[in-house]
Structure 1
Amino acid sequence: MIEQELAISTSNLTKQFDRHLAVNQVELQIEKGEVYGLIGPNGAGKTTLIRMLAAAEDPTIGEIYIYGDRLLRNDSNTRLKQRIGYLPDDFPVYEDLNVWDYLDYFARLYYLKSPHRRRRLQEVLELVQLTSKRTSKINTLSRGMKQRLSLARTILHDPILLLLDEPVSGLDPIARMQFREIIKVLQTVGMTIFISSHVLSDLAQLCTSVGIMELGFLVESTSLQDLYQRLSQQQIIIKTLGDLETLQQELKHNSYVEEWQFISEENSLKVNFSGNDQESAELLKALITAGIPISEFHCIQEDLETIFLKLGHKQAS
C-alpha cells in the first residue's frame, strides 16, 4: 500500500541499457509540495531517472507510484500522465512562431478549451514575465527568455508534478535568479517539483530535500536541513587587528578548533569548529579575554557544493 501523502514513490527502480546499469535499485520517496533537488556528476543516471518518472522511459524492473497510483508507459492512467509536467534539458522551441502562438499550440494539444485557454495563456505569460513578448518571434528571445517560455509550456495544463532536467543550464546569473523566483511561486501553489541541476547554489536556495546520485545509485536522499546537520562542518571567520600568530596560539588552546586556513589579504582565519553555538560564544569570550583585538567573528556552514564534493571523495575511497 503506497502512502497517499507521497507525490513520488519508487521501489527497486532499475534501468539497464545493454550492459550499462544507468539507474540501480533506486528507492525514492518525495512528499507532496516538496522541491526536491537531484545532484550528481554527468553519467550518474539523473536524466534516465527523470525520464522514467515522466513515463518517457520504461524501467527494466521496479515500480513508480505518482500520488499513490502506479505509473506505466502503456495506455493506462492517462489522466495521471496529464497531470505531469516534464521539461527535458534539450526541448526544442519553434523559432519561427511567436510566443503566443507557440503556447496556444501546446494548449490545444492539452485540450484546453476557450475561453479558459486564453486565460491560462495570459496567466502563464504573466508568471514567467513574458507578457510584453507575446507577439515576439521566438528567435528574437534571449536564452533565458526561451527557457522561461519552455517552462510556461510545461505548466500550461496546471500539473501537480513538475519534472525539470537541468533547467538553468547555460543561463546567466540574472536569468537563473528569474527562473528561481518562478519555481518558488509554483511551490507556493502546492506543486511538487523535482529538479536536477549542476548549479548547486540554486538548489540550496530552492530545495526542501535533495538526492545525490553516483553511478546509478541514490546514495543520499534526505531533507536539506538534515544533510547540513550531518555533513556540513561549521566554520568561523575570525579577523584580527593584531598579528595572526598570536591568534593562532590562542586557538590551539580550544579543543573544538580542529584546523584553520589563512585568508591572508584580510588578516583573517577560517576555522573549522566542532562545537555548538554556546561553545563558539565561549571561544569569542576567551579571545577577547586574552587581549586579542577581534574585528570580525561570524559562523558559517559549508555549502551544498562542498558537501557534494566530500561525499564524492567518500564514495571513491
Structure 2
Amino acid sequence: MIVSELAIATFNLTKQFERHVAVNKLELEVQPGEVYGLIGPNGAGKTTLMRMLAAVEEPTTGEIHIYGDRLLTDNSHPRLKQKLGYLPDDFPLYEDLNVWDYLDYFARLYHVKLPHRRRRIQEVLELVQLTSKKDSNIKTLSRGMKQRLSLARTILHDPLLLLLDEPVSGLDPIARMQFREVIKILQSVGMTVLISSHVLSDLAELCTSVGIMELGSLVESTSLKDLYERLSHQQIIIKTLGDLTQLQQELKGFSQVEEWEIISHQNSLRVNFSGGDEESAELLKYLIHRGIPIAEFHCTQEDLESIFLKLDHKQAS
C-alpha cells in the first residue's frame, strides 16, 4: 500500500521509558474513512500509541505518517496537526464555563474565524445533541453529556483523523449508545476514527477493522469481517428441561460438536460447533429423536470479546 493513500502508517514505531518498552516496533496501517478499534489489556501500549499519533509524545525510534505526511512533535507542519483531533481519557473540562463559551474558547485556539466559528459551534452542538444545553453551566451536565461535549470540542476544527482514547469509560448504556451514534455520523462524512475501548461490544458495532495490542506489540491487525471468518466459531445455546448430564452424553456422539460450556443457572450448554446450518438442524433433530426435552436451541457466533480472550490466552501460553 502506498503511504500517501493511508490515513495512518507507522514504521518501526517504538517508545521506551527508561527500561520499559511501551510500544515495540509497531507497524500500523489504517485506511481513510475507517473506524479502527484498538484492543488490549491495561499496559498494552494503547494510550502511548495514541499520544504519539497525536504528536503529544515523541517516539524513541520509528516514523508516523498521517495522510502521507510525516508527523513530528516539533513546530513543523502545523497544517498536518490541524488534521488531528485527540480526545484523551483524562482531559479536564472547565466546569465554571457554560457550554457555548467553552466551545468558543477552543474554537479560538483552533483559529476558527468569525462568522464561521459561530456556525461551526452550532453544528457540533447539534451533532452531539447538546443544543438545548448551550447556555448551561458545564458542572450541571451529566457524565454522558460532558463526554459528548468533549467530543464536540475535539471536532470543532473538522479534523480528518479522530483519536479517541477510552471515550465511553464509565458511561451508562444509553450514554454509550448516544456516543456511538455520533461516531457513526462522523464516519459517514468521511472522518477516519481510531478508538480504544475496553467495551468490546461497542467496538464490534462501530469498527471496520481492529488491532489487538499485547505488551507494546500489534499481534493482530485486520478487518473485523476477516477476524470473524478466521477466529469466530459457531456456537449453539441448548437448554433442556431434563438432565444436563444426559444432554452431554448425547452430544458426545455428534462429530461436529467440539466442546461445550455449562450455563448452570439456565440448565443450558454453550456448544462450539464446526458444522453449518444443515448440520445444526440435524443435531436438533437427533436430540429430539433421542428424547431430550429441548426448551431452547439457537445458533450464534463467538463475539469480539470471546475472540480477544482466546487470542490473549494464546499469547499468554
**Normalised by the shorter chain, which TM-score bucket?**
over 0.9
The alpha-carbon deviation at position 2 of structure 1 amounts to 3.4
TM (norm. structure 1) is 0.95
Secondary structure in 2 matching 1:221: strand
Secondary structure in 1 matching 2:157: coil
Secondary structure in 2 matching 1:218: strand
Q: Give the equivalent residue in structure 2 for 1:122.
A: 122
Secondary structure in 2 matching 1:280: helix
Q: Give the equivalent residue in structure 1 for 2:149.
A: 149
**For 1:89-100, what aligned pairs fall within 5 Å after superposition?**
89-100=89-100
Aligned letter for 1:68? G
* Structure 2: distance between partners of 1:153 and 1:39: 25
Q: Give the equivalent residue in structure 2 for 1:315.
A: 315
**For 1:36-47, what aligned pairs fall within 5 Å after superposition?**
36-47=36-47
Mind listing any 5+ residue stretches in structure 1 that lack a counterpart? none
Mind listing any 5+ residue stretches in structure 2 that lack a counterpart? none
* Structure 1: distance between partners of 2:269 and 2:235: 10
The alpha-carbon deviation at position 281 of structure 1 amounts to 2.6
**CA pair 266-313 structure 1, distance change in 2 beyond 3 A:** closer
Alignment pair present for 1:176 and 2:193 = no
Q: Alpha-carbon deviations, 1:272-314, whole Å to 9, x = none?
A: 1122333223322333444544342211122222222222221
CA RMSD of aligned residues (A): 1.7
Moved more, 130-139 or 235-244: 235-244
The number of residues matched between the two structures is 317
CA contact under 8 A between 1:2 and 1:65: conserved in structure 2?
A: no
TM (norm. structure 2) is 0.95
* Structure 2: distance between partners of 1:244 and 1:47: 45
Q: Give the equivalent residue in structure 1 for 2:272.
A: 272
Alignment pair present for 1:74 and 2:74 = yes
* Structure 1: distance between partners of 2:31 and 2:174: 30
Moved more, 67-76 or 119-128: 67-76
**For 1:1-317, what aligned pairs fall within 5 Å after superposition?**
2-317=2-317
* Structure 1: distance between partners of 2:175 and 2:28: 30
Aligned letter for 2:80? L
**CA pair 19-263 structure 1, distance change in 2 beyond 3 A:** closer
Aligned letter for 2:193? I
* Structure 1: distance between partners of 2:254 and 2:194: 43
Aligned letter for 2:298? H
Aligned letter for 1:94? Y
Secondary structure in 2 matching 1:4: helix
Q: Between the two proteins, what is the percent identity of the paired residues?
A: 80
CA contact under 8 A between 2:3 and 2:65: conserved in structure 1?
A: no
Q: Alpha-carbon deviations, 1:193-237, whole Å to 9, x = none?
A: 001111111111111111111111111111112222222222101
Aligned letter for 1:156? L
* Structure 2: distance between partners of 1:43 and 1:260: 32
